[in-house]
């Protein structure tokens, strides 16, 4: 699926350094998850599989945060715990920090290892692992 124009617009509004980071991330994500729906969700670019958020990024004060909703289950030491559920992150301050092999491996795991965020409200905050 091509990168949604709203995501392209989000990236275009960033300064050059962050634009390069986000453009590179979006390109690799779209290439490795071609079946994923992508859109701006809660003001940030996010990719979904069957309505479940998988990966996204956002501009923080001093970096770009790449977030994998189920990333704590990936067994990847470079990903850091984020929040109280199963999310994990990696933070970039320049595009040359993007190691495509790492990103591709994380995206493959994001496809295969998912927790059901789509139904978290219905389940009153309880996450269940998807097969």
Q: Are 73 and 113 in contact (CB under 8 A)?
A: yes
Single pTM value for the model: 0.91
Count Cβ atoms below 10 Å from residue 68 Cβ, excluding itself.
26
Q: What is the pLDDT of residue 106?
A: 98
Q: Is the domain 5-130 a CATH 3.60.21.10 member? A: no
**d(Cα 10, Cα 23) in Å, to the nearest integer?**
10
Taking the domains of the chain in order of start, what are their residue ranges? 5-130
**d(Cα 5, Cα 38) in Å, to the nearest integer?**
10
Q: Name the strand (E) or helix (H) holding 48.
A: strand 44-49
Query: For 20-37, how does the pLDDT look when each residue is reduced to its tens digit (9 = 90+)?
Result: 999 999 999 999 999 999
Per-chain mean pLDDT for the chain? 93
Position 125 pLDDT exceeds 90: no
């Amino acid at each position: 699926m091509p990168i949604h124009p709203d995501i392209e617009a989000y990236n275009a509004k960033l300064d050059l350094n962050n634009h390069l980071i986000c453009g590179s991330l979006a390109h690799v994500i779209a290439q490795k998850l071609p079946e994923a729906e992508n859109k701006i969700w809660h003001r940030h670019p996010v990719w979904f599989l069957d309505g479940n958020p998988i990966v996204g990024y956002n501009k923080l004060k001093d970096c770009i945060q790449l977030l994998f909703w189920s990333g704590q289950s990936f067994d990847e030491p470079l990903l850091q715990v984020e929040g109280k559920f199963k999310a994990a992150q990696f933070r970039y301050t320049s595009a040359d920090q993007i190691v495509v092999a790492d990103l591709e491996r994380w995206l493959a795991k994001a496809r295969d290892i998912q927790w059901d965020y789509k139904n978290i409200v219905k389940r009153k905050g309880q996450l269940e692992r998807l097969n």
